[in-house]
Amino acid sequence: MSRRGFTLIELMCVLLILSLLAVMSFRGLAAVLDARDQVRHETEKWKRVAAFFSRFQHDVQLSAPRPVRAAAARFEFSRFATAPGIDMPRRVAYLLNENREIELWLWSGFELAPETPPARYAVLPEVAQFELRYLDKELAWIEAWPRSERDAPLPQAVRLRIVLASGEELVRVFSLK
């Protein structure tokens, strides 16, 4: 009577093949999980950027033609309310802080003492550069607004350039007229 079965060599070969398949499957799964994490990180980054640009555009479109307090390192302006009872007119400023975040500064109204501190909110992290240019009535881009006492309370447009910490450069122009 002959016995049918597997030899030790055949079992070892099967185990070797199965272990190679397991290692390849693990590597493939790890690559898929890494790619998923990278896509999730990139998606979150671009959602934050889109939300920042949307907020900035909304604020700029509601800007009020009122004199601007000294604002060398930030973009500071007054903005109207979006709708009665929903929001109020207020002073608004955007600047790059020491943590490389773009901050939104909000004052509770227009007519406040100059030393009144604003509420400060980080609206876009991981920013390497934040640059603003202003379009004057002669259609020239300048670095500071207002340039002189004769300038209108608002420029024609604002050019916003940001460079993210990851290296992407984004430039947007917002009309104020």
Tell me: the pLDDT tens digits for 27-67? 888 888 889 999 999 999 999 999 999 999 988 888 877 66
127-135, strands of its sheet edge to edge: 141-142, 127-135, 157-164, 169-175
DSSP class of residue 121?
A: E
Tokens representing residue 164 in the block: 């993210």
Helix (H, G, I), strand (E, B) or coil at 157: strand
Tell me: the pLDDT tens digits for 90-138? 788 899 999 999 999 888 776 666 677 888 999 999 999 999 998 988 8
DSSP states of 59-107: HHHTEE--PPPP-SSSEEEEE--SSTTT---EEEEEEE-TTS-EEEEE-
Cα–Cα distance, 104 to 119 (Å, whole number): 8
Cα–Cα distance, 45 to 51 (Å, whole number): 10
pLDDT of residue 152: 66
pLDDT of residue 151: 63
Burial profile 80-90: b = 16 or more Cβ within 10 angstroms, e = fewer: eeeeeeeeeeb
Residue type, 160: L
Cα–Cα distance, 93 to 24 (Å, whole number): 54
Q: Is the pLDDT of residue 72 over 50?
A: no
Q: Where in the chain are the domains?
A: 43-175
Burial profile 16-44: b = 16 or more Cβ within 10 angstroms, e = fewer: eeeeeeeeeeeeeeeeeeeeeeeeeeeee
Q: Which pTM does this prediction carry?
A: 0.74
31 compared with 77, residue with greater pLDDT = 31
Cα–Cα distance, 168 to 50 (Å, whole number): 14
Cα–Cα distance, 59 to 75 (Å, whole number): 11
